[in-house]
A and B are shown apart, each in its own frame.
Chain A
Amino acid sequence: MARELLKGNVAIAEAAIRAGLTSYFGYPITPQTELLEYLSARMPEEGRAFVQAESELGAINMVYGAACTGARVMTSSSSPGISLMLEGLSYIAGTEVPMVLVDVMRGGPGLGNIAPAQSDYNQIVHGGGHGDYHVIALAPANVQEAIDMTVLAFDLAEKYRSIAVVLIDGSLGQMMEPAELPPFKPLATQFPEWAVRGAEGGRERRFLSSIYLSPPEEEKANLRMLRRWKDVEANEIRYKEYFMEDAKYVVTGFGSSGRVALSAVRAARAEGIPVGLLRPITVSPFPYKVYEELSKKVDGMLVVEMNTGQMLEDVLKAAQGRTPVEFYGRVGGIVPLPDEILTEIHRLVEEKPAVGGHPRDRWMDRMIKMN
């Protein structure tokens, strides 16, 4: 299949259809809306289910119902809409049914703005809804990756009876790039033994629920989910490395931050600075081990994010004070420029910051002076 010019949101929507998306439910919110619009035309064309819900609450619960049938289901939204969906996400996690969620992050908190941001990393990676659960979260940095990871998200969700999130920011949702769409997958004709589809042929009834009134049963369910998560951690960690073979310094960031940082790393390499880039693809499960090993051999790390340092905490947890960690973030819907990151690389190399203190505090001091 040839490469074509595709907008991120549209590319994800078409990739989902080709991955066998059976039912989609959504609600308009910028900068995600093209996904909803595109599917409103394409799903009926394919004879599949599309509903524009009354709210994100409605959308996620439609997804919940459809997911219980064992079909491939998806919704998409952006930050404030995801907040509304957290109730349903917790129930879906607790019922152990698979679904794909596309989160096109924008500036926050509150209504915030519609510019690109990564300030919902913690919401997706470290929680969100109530209860002990984890989601698989994939962070593409270009349209091709967004396509590939949408397809992957469906496979992983099904394999682990889990929620799989494609976590991007508004810039990737809105950006057009050449990319290649995957071939069409046929829709499933076989469904898992847990799927609620009507007790055909007089089979025994099934029910799906997230309620375990007896605490020992709830404990058992929590441990079952955790065991499954341990399998995800063992098998599904993904990340990309650039210029890492001889790197003494490492820049790291996910999604668009990682992509912008790559330009800065290239520029630094051109200056002869031995710096590489580590870009996590799975931000959940987070590649702790990879960072841990790196922290034993590099002279410093620079974490770049479009938030006030959320993934930073995970990097610090992995680095354990073994190497200096610095942070550079732009927030409120501002995308950092390669030159800004290059300046931070220079600082890291020249100033050789101490291991102590918190990188966020040092960054804040610099930001206050800047503003």
Chain B
Amino acid sequence: MNTLEQDLEKLVYERPDTLVETTTHYCPGCTHGVAHRLIAEVIEEMGLRDRTIGVASVGCSVFAYNYFDFDFVQAPHGRAPAMATGVKRTLPDRVVLTYQGDGDLASIGMGEIVHAAARGENITVVFLNNANYGMTGGQMAPTTLPGQKTSTSPSGRDVETAGFPIRASELLSTLDGASYVVRRSLHDPKSIRLAKKALRTAFEVQIRGLGFSMVELLSICPTNWGMTPVDSLHWLESNMLPYYPVGDYKINPIVAEIKI
């Protein structure tokens, strides 16, 4: 390396220390990696590594604990908000987050998430919505769009027999215990930057003891959707965004004063 090259070399992007250097088990193009990185960056920037406890769920992110360099526990399917409640009530000064998919949170774990939010449980929920069950091979989820083909809705989701998708953020926003409930998307760089800002706010809400916070992240599942990653991003934009608009669904007035 000559002097000229050294002068030109400026590090602008690196792996946060809170993200473990390891091989990913996620599929190529999957946005779990993006979400993981955002969380790791926020935890690092806020200096929370030593007092954060994550709660992994069941689904593709069952191995989330492999990627974060802080303490983790692993919940049964859907029960992460209950488990997080147990951790947080026992150790109130720790920062507790759950990382859950849409099958986990909006189907089998609907009871746990609703009541955690209703209690104003002072935890942060990161909710990945990719409109299908990823880990078991792309079955219909509570978030699968009307007409969307999955391995258990092979002709497309028929709302006459399979009902309608659940908009979890809108639903939880009706609860008084929820302080910060927003939806963001991971389909392009601008959205990703906004997603990171929302995660930062969510953790600020928890640190200030303001109650339940959740960031829903619209995500892609190229493998089970049967599309290339790029096509998946376009599909998210043109199909998921209209049904699941990004936006702030619940902002406690005190939260609105937080400046990031």
Contact of B112 among A58, A71, A211 (CB under 8 A): A58
CB of B235 within 8 A of chain A?
Answer: no
Collect the chain B residues with CB atoms within 8 Å of residue A69's CB. Answer: 87, 90-91
Picked from B52, B55, B74, the residue with its CB within 8 Å of the CB of A210 is B74
CB of A208 within 8 Å of the partner chain: yes
Given A61-B86, A65-B82, A66-B87, the answer on whether A211 and B62 have CB atoms closer than 8 Å is: yes
Binds A, one of B63-71, B148-156, B158-166, B182-190: B63-71
Q: Tell me which residues from 282 to 331 in chain A have a Cβ below 8 Å from any Cβ of chain B.
A: none
Interchain CB contact under 8 A, A205 and B70: yes
Q: Does A64 contact B (CB under 8 A)?
A: yes
Interface pair A66/B51, CB less than 8 Å apart: no
**Among B68, B69, B84, contact of A65 (Cβ-Cβ < 8 Å):** B84
Q: Are B50 and A54 in contact (CB under 8 A)?
A: no
Residues 43-57 of B contacting A (Cβ, < 8 Å): 49-53, 55-56
The reply on A199 being an interface residue by CB < 8 A is yes
Answer whether residue A63 sits at the interface, using C-beta atoms and an 8 A cutoff.
Answer: yes
Q: Does A200 contact B (CB under 8 A)?
A: yes
Dominant secondary structure of chain A at its interface with chain B: mixed
Contact with B along A40-66 (1 / 0, CB 8 A): 000000000101011101110111111
Nearest Cβ on chain B to A84's Cβ, whole angstroms: 11
Given A54-B111, A54-B112: A196 in contact with B89 (beta carbons within 8 A): no
Known A68-B73, A73-B86: A57·B111 in contact at CB below 8 Å? yes
Does A198 lie within 8 Å of B90, measured CB to CB?
no
Find chain A residues with CB under 8 A from B119 CB.
51
**Is the CB–CB distance between A25 and B86 below 8 Å?**
yes
Contacts A54-B111, A54-B115; is A66 near B70 (CB within 8 Å)?
Answer: no
Contacts of A209 in B (CB 8 A): 56, 65, 72-74
Tell whether, in the assembled complex, residue B52 and residue A198 are in contact, meaning their CB atoms are under 8 Å apart. Answer: yes
Most interface-central of A57, A62, A87, A201 (chain B CB within 10 A):
A62
In the complex, A25 Cα to B87 Cα: how many Å?
Answer: 12
CB pair B76–A87 under 8 Å, yes or no, is yes
Number of interface residues of A (CB under 8 A): 40
Specify which of B51, B69, B90 is in contact with A71 (CB 8 Å cutoff). Answer: B90
Given contacts A22-B90, A23-B86, contact A65 B55 (CB under 8 A): yes
Pair B87/A68 contact, Cβ less than 8 Å: yes
A202 near B74: Cβ-Cβ < 8 Å: no
Q: With A58-B111, A205-B69, A207-B72 in contact, is A64–B51 under 8 Å at CB?
A: no
The reply to whether A57 and B72 form a contact with Cβ atoms under 8 Å apart is no
Whether B85 pairs with A51 at a CB distance below 8 angstroms is: yes
Q: How far is the CA of A51 from the CA of B120 in the complex (A)?
A: 12
Q: Which of B73, B95, B115 has the most CB atoms of chain A within a 10 A radius of its CB? A: B73
A61 touches B73 (CB 8 A): no
In the complex the two chains form, what is the Cα distance from A51 to B95 in whole Å? 19
Residues facing A in B86-114 (CB within 8 A) are: 86-91, 94-95, 111-112, 114
Residues on the B chain within 8 Å of A88, using CB: 76, 79
**Contact residues in B for A207 (Cβ distance below 8 Å):** 65, 71-74
CA distance in complex: A211, B51 (Å): 24
CB of B89 within 8 A of CB of A202, answer no
State whether A58 touches B71 (Cβ < 8 A).
no
B83 contacts partner chain A, Cβ-Cβ < 8 Å: yes
Counting chain B CB atoms within 10 Å of each CB, the highest count among A61, A63, A95, A206 belongs to A61
Q: In the complex, which residue of chain B has the Cβ closest to the Cβ of A72?
A: B90
The A236-255 residues at the B interface (CB cut-off 8 A) are none
Is A139 part of the binding interface, using a Cβ–Cβ cutoff of 8 Å? no
Known: A65-B84, A197-B91, A207-B72. 7 other contacts (CB 8 A): A25-B86, A51-B89, A87-B76, A199-B69, A205-B72, A207-B71, A211-B74
- A sample of 10 cross-chain residue pairs with beta-carbon separation below 8 angstroms, ordered by A number, consists of A61-B76, A61-B79, A61-B82, A62-B86, A64-B73, A65-B55, A65-B75, A68-B86, A69-B90, A88-B76
